[in-house]
């Protein structure tokens, strides 16, 4: 049974999930960030069936997140290397790591992010590159972009702005 594709939806979250929404894909990308590049390395580390791994690697290559490179002609062998788009996925992985540690690790974190120079544990936070302010509601919200269709504009229009105002009111604060 073929799953539904989200690739043609307007929502950037849906389009992203179309590329990485299958859990094996995210774990393969995680392992690629840890330096794994070869089929047997991914298979051994993940304990994944070869046919599933082959499908996931092919999909990640087609999505432009991994690049397939030949490293041996006899026998023919390829490695899988992160592309620019794949490398841009690292903050998403770190956000998932921090969220998982916060909500799903009652025994405490098994993996943390640390400052490479000091070794001090970091706490990921999404910020606006222009202002440096944390991207938190109600001060920030999603809005329809220039390419939005009517349905997307409706979903992110006045109702979304009103939800933001309601969140501010519930917290006893005024808008910016």
Residue 176 predicted with pLDDT over 50: no
Which residue in 122, 124, 156 sits closest to 140, CA to CA?
156
Tell me the two tokens of residue 168: 């501010």
List the domain boundaries for the chain: 12-87, 90-124, 128-171
* 85-105 mean pLDDT: 94
Hey, what CATH topology would domain 12-87 get? Arc Repressor Mutant, subunit A (1.10.10)
pTM greater than the 0.85 cutoff: no
Banded model confidence at residue 172, pLDDT cuts 50, 70, 90: very low
Tell me the two tokens of residue 62: 């087609």
Q: Which of 41-45, 48-52, 149-153 has the lowest mean pLDDT?
A: 149-153
Convert the pLDDT of each residue in 106-118 to its tens digit. Answer: 999 999 999 999 9
């Amino acid at each position: 049974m073929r799953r539904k594709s989200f690739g043609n939806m307007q929502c950037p979250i849906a389009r992203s999930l179309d590329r990485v929404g299958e859990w094996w894909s995210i774990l393969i990308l995680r392992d690629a960030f840890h330096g794994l590049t070869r089929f047997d390395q991914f298979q051994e580390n993940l304990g994944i069936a070869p046919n599933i791994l082959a499908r996931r690697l092919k999909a990640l290559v087609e999505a432009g997140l991994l690049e397939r490179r030949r490293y041996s002609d006899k026998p023919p062998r390829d490695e899988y290397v992160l592309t620019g788009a794949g490398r841009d996925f690292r903050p998403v992985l770190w956000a998932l790591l921090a969220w998982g540690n916060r909500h799903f690790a009652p025994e405490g974190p098994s993996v943390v992010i640390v400052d490479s120079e000091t070794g001090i544990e970091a706490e990921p936070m999404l910020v606006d590159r222009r202002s440096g302010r944390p991207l938190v509601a109600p001060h920030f919200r999603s809005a329809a972009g220039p390419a939005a269709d009517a349905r997307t504009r409706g979903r992110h229009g006045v109702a979304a702005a009103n939800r933001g105002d309601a969140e501010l009111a519930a917290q006893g604060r005024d808008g910016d």
